[in-house]
Chains A and B, each alone.
Chain A
Amino acid sequence: MLEARELSKSYGAVKALDTVSFRAVGGEVIAIVGDNGAGKSTLLKVLSGAITHDTGQLRVGGELVDFRSPHDAEQVGIEAVYQDLALVNTLDVGSNIFLGREIPRKGMAGRIGLIDRRAMRREGREALRDLLGVEFPTMRRTVEMLSGGQRQAVAIVRSASRLEQRGRGVILLDEPTAALGVAQRQRVGMLIKRLASKGHLVVIVSHDLPTVFELASRIFVMRLGRLVTELHANDSDLSTLVGLITGAIEPTDITKVVADDDATASSDINRSSRGTK
């Protein structure tokens, strides 16, 4: 349902994305890993319409799309949690969660644009509790006064609750658990699994490789803007992945691994990874 073909994006001389292609379908959890500056966030931002790519094609549900803004991406069901969270510091928690799709008041008042702040606070509080198990004593606090983890929770809940209102969609998560405590991390993992089980496509970017293995079925490795390879989580292991990310293992060694789902091949890689070290 989400397909990228030869996506490229340059910042001056820096090729942040270099002919990246992949396909993914609803119900999957895929992960994108890579070192700092590999282009992971750039890829996610292209997919969410936050930035536009230079060349290449993007298809959603088979249809060619041309996102001019995140608004466009949202229309076809793509939600994103950004690495920098993209919250409005000066607004309160409820307003942030419902920004862009505020809850209207009932009846005539709602039709002329009046919004129900109380409902936004209440539903925001419930979503935070139900989705992540986070209790917010007050929803009136502005986001600037929240801790890093609380901010992250708000950003995740905002996107996840939007997605839950759709039949099928895509959620892009850039380092969703970086600032979270242990319990909240687990809740995010559960949330991701649940979203996938409902048929949504989940794309996560993370440096937390054990979690990546636990959640994702496929793992894309990026290096210097290129998507160098793709692994199946259940027939690879941590050290292979680390090797691929750092460049200790060359992807050419593994392309055949992905081609034939062979357990022996993956142990080959383990050997070769040891060999190069």
Chain B
Amino acid sequence: MATADTTKVVEADDAVSAPVRALQIGRDYGIGGFFFLLLLIFSLASPTFLSGPNLLGILTAASVVSLFALAEALVVIAGAIDLSVVPIAALVGVIVALSLNAGIPVWLAVLIGLGVGFLCGLLNASVIEFMNMSSLIATLATLTTLTGVVLLITNGKPIFGVTALAPLGQGRTLGVQNPILVMIATYALVGIVMSQTKFGNRLLAVGGNAEAARRAGVRRRFYVFAPFVACGVISAGAGIVVLGRLGSAQPTFANSILFDAITAVALAGVLLSGGRGSILKVLLGSLIVATIANGLVLLRVSSFWTYVTTGLLLAVAVWADGAVSRAIERTSLSTEHRKEAARA
């Protein structure tokens, strides 16, 4: 969504040659096409796959990963990376669970949780900005520290019997699981912010070329902090959804979750160099990851194949994205030259 305007070439465009346009369409809609191909293959292979309940099940499973992916995407668009999204969620889950067990009302506990996510993001950004550290190192430190803090708080034991958030995690509205609605609402909000607002435009600018944005009068520092803080809050949201789904808060999550989230971001073509990113594609990337996991379970393929497939897919997607981008550049440059030659 965010670059729907910047990369999509919808209008008839005489300046862009046909092959370039074809390549651009490939880059912009390829992921959607791939998703439908995946749906087609699995629905042919498994009769259950295309059923309503299973599709809702995929969306429910995707809800958590997609929130992590969204949080990560904002930071990656800004040209950084955040390795600490999962422990932030774990910390928030634990704190919210303890708050609820202490009798704090649900709305306040959720607010506290989101506030903790906010502070974690603020911490990450502060370390990066004021200590001049790379985001990779800074958030790696946060990852380790927060994991330790959560274990200290919980002694490694899950906090269970938390029923207050069951409506959020396990309830349905009009037949749709509530985590799906949380996912859709969050994506809609962030998608609009990124594609339609001043904030989104400037965040993309700082991610694409921080110095150029600064010279255009953008307050760079604000846009260093904002994505990390947003990332912290959305990760906190993911932690709260998990708490709702499970009725318990785990001090540590499965290792695969960060990998899945980053895979989704990469599938979306949100380059690690920053400045580019479509929120809609991040959602598609998350759905692809969740769909592969679901489809292979239904086909009773050994779970090792999930790793193999997701890994290969990631490599191919990133390679294809790069290759297509380079091809676009080459082709459009050569048309440019041809035109110039014609003019001379």
Contact = CB atoms under 8 A, between A and B. Distances in A.
> Do A's and B's CB atoms come within 8 Å in the complex?
yes
Interface of A: 48, 50, 69-71, 74, 80, 82, 86-92, 95-96, 99-102, 104, 113-115, 117, 136-138, 140-142, 144-145, 147, 158
B214 A140 contact: no
Nearest to A95: B201
Contacts of B219: 69, 71
Given A89-B208, A114-B197, A142-B7, A137 B217 contact: no
A115 B202 CA distance: 11
Contacts of A87: 209, 212
Contacts, number: 114
Contacts of A142: 6-7
Interface stretch (B11-19, B108-116, B171-179): B11-19
A99 B6 contact: no
Interface of B: 3, 5-11, 13-16, 196-199, 201-202, 204-205, 207-209, 211-220, 274-276, 328-329, 332, 336, 340
A141 B209 contact: no
B6 A92 contact: yes
B332 A145 contact: yes
Given A88-B208, A92-B5, A100 B202 contact: yes
- Lowest 6 A-B CB distances belong to which pairs? A90-B208, A90-B275, A100-B217, A137-B15, A86-B212, A100-B216
Given A69-B219, A95-B204, 11 more contacts: A87-B212, A88-B213, A89-B275, A90-B276, A95-B201, A96-B216, A99-B205, A99-B218, A102-B202, A115-B196, A141-B16
Contacts of B208: 88-91
Given A137-B14, A140-B9, A88 B212 contact: yes
B227 to A, nearest CB: 15
Nearest to A150: B336
17 contacts: A71-B217, A87-B209, A88-B205, A88-B213, A88-B275, A89-B208, A90-B207, A90-B275, A99-B205, A99-B216, A113-B198, A115-B198, A117-B5, A137-B15, A138-B15, A138-B16, A145-B332
Contacts of B211: 86
A91 B197 contact: no
B215 A88 contact: no
Given A115-B196, A142-B7, A90 B215 contact: no
Contacts of A86: 209, 211-212, 215-216
A102 B217 contact: no
B15 to A, nearest CB: 4
B6 A90 contact: yes
A82 B191 CA distance: 33
Nearest to A120: B201
A148 B14 CA distance: 19
Nearest to B6: A92
A113 B215 contact: no
B198 A141 contact: no
With a 10 A CB-CB cut-off, give which of A80, A88, A102, A158 has the most chain B CB atoms.
Answer: A88
Given A99-B201, A115-B197, A82 B215 contact: yes
A113 B200 CA distance: 10
Given A99-B205, A113-B197, A141-B16, A69 B214 contact: yes
B13 A137 contact: yes
B269 to A, nearest CB: 12
A50 B11 CA distance: 37
A140 B15 contact: no
A140 B8 contact: yes
Given A138-B9, A138-B16, A140-B6, A91 B215 contact: no
A137 B21 CA distance: 14
A74 B217 contact: yes
With a 10 A CB-CB cut-off, give which of B3, B204, B217, B274 has the most chain A CB atoms.
Answer: B217
Contacts of B9: 138, 140-141
B275 to A, nearest CB: 4
Nearest to A110: B198
